[in-house]
A and B are shown apart, each in its own frame.
Chain A
Amino acid sequence: MSAPFLSIARIAKSYAGTKAVDEVSLDIAEGEFVTFLGPSGSGKSTTLYIIAGFVEPSAGEVLLGGRSLLAVPPHQRGIGMVFQRYTLFPHLSVAENIAFPLRVRRRPRAEIADKVDEMLRLVRLEGMRGRRPGQLSGGQQQRVALARALAYDPRILLMDEPLSALDKKLREEIQGEIRRVHVETGVTVLYVTHDQEEALRLSDRIALFNHGRIEQVGDGRDLYERPASAFVAGFIGNSNFLPVRVVAAAGRHAVVSCPDGFELRGVRVAARPAGAEPTLMLRPERLWLAPGGAGEGIAGTVVDAAFLGDCIAYRVRTGWAQDLAVRTPLAALGGAPAGVGQEVRVCCEGRHAFLFAAL
Chain B
Amino acid sequence: MLLDHRELGAWRWLLGGTALLLSLFLLLPLLLIVALSFDSSQWLQFPPPSWTLHWYAQVFADPDWLSSLRASLEVGVSVTVLSVGIGLCASFALVRGRFRGRAFLRAFFVTPMILPSVVLAVALYGVFLRLHLNGTLAGFVLAHLVLALPFSIIPITSALEQFDGAVEDAAVLCGATRWQARLRITVPAISLALVSAAIFSFLASWDEVVVAIFMASPGLQTLPVRIWGELRQNLSPDIAVVSTLLVLGSAVLMGLAAMVRRGASS
Interface residues of A (CB under 8 A from B): 52-54, 73-81, 83, 85-91, 100-101, 104-105, 145, 148-149, 152
Residues from chain B with Cβ under 8 Å of A76 in the complex? 175
Give B157-177 as 1s and 0s: 1 = Cβ < 8 Å from A's Cβ atoms: 000000010110111111111
Cβ contact within 8 Å between A89 and B171: yes
Residues from chain B with Cβ under 8 Å of A81 in the complex? 170, 173
Q: In the assembly, what is the distance between CA of A132 and CA of B167, in Å?
A: 15
Cβ contact within 8 Å between A87 and B170: yes
Q: In the assembly, what is the distance between CA of A89 and CA of B184, in Å?
A: 10
Say yes or no: A52-B171 contact (C-beta < 8 A), given A90-B189, A104-B180: no
What 8 A-B pairs have minimum CB-CB distances, sorted nearest first?
A: A101-B174, A87-B170, A104-B175, A87-B167, A91-B188, A81-B173, A104-B176, A87-B166
Identify the closest chain B residue to A158 (Cβ). B173
Residues from chain A with Cβ under 8 Å of B166 in the complex? 83, 85, 87
Cβ contact within 8 Å between A100 and B191: no
Residues from chain B with Cβ under 8 Å of A83 in the complex? 166, 169-170
Cβ contact within 8 Å between A74 and B185: no
Which parts of B136-191 form the interface with A (CB within 8 Å)?
164, 166-167, 169-178, 180, 185, 188-189, 191
Cβ contact within 8 Å between B169 and A87: yes
Identify the closest chain A residue to B163 (Cβ). A90
CB distance from A251 to the nearest CB of B (A): 49
Cβ contact within 8 Å between A74 and B167: no
Say yes or no: A77-B174 contact (C-beta < 8 A), given A85-B166, A87-B164, A91-B191: no
Given contacts A83-B166, A83-B169, A104-B175, 11 further A-B contacts (CB under 8 A): A52-B173, A75-B173, A75-B175, A75-B178, A85-B166, A87-B166, A87-B169, A100-B174, A104-B174, A149-B173, A149-B174
Q: From A53, A54, A87, A105, give the contact of B175 (CB < 8 A).
A: A105
CB distance from B82 to the nearest CB of A (A): 25
Q: In the assembly, what is the distance between CA of A79 and CA of B176, in Å?
A: 12
Residues from chain B with Cβ under 8 Å of A86 in the complex? 164
Give B85-96 as 1s and 0s: 1 = Cβ < 8 Å from A's Cβ atoms: 000000000000
Cβ contact within 8 Å between A74 and B172: yes
Residues from chain B with Cβ under 8 Å of A145 in the complex? 170
Cβ contact within 8 Å between B173 and A74: yes
Identify the closest chain A residue to B178 (Cβ). A75
Q: From B173, B175, B189, give the contact of A89 (CB < 8 A).
A: B189
Q: In the assembly, what is the distance between CA of A83 and CA of B167, in Å?
A: 9
Cβ contact within 8 Å between A75 and B172: yes
13 contacts between A and B (CB under 8 A): A53-B173, A54-B169, A73-B177, A75-B176, A75-B178, A77-B173, A81-B173, A83-B169, A91-B188, A101-B174, A101-B175, A145-B170, A148-B170
Identify the closest chain B residue to A54 (Cβ). B169
Which residue among A52, A79, A83 has the maximum number of chain B CB atoms within 10 Å of its CB? A83
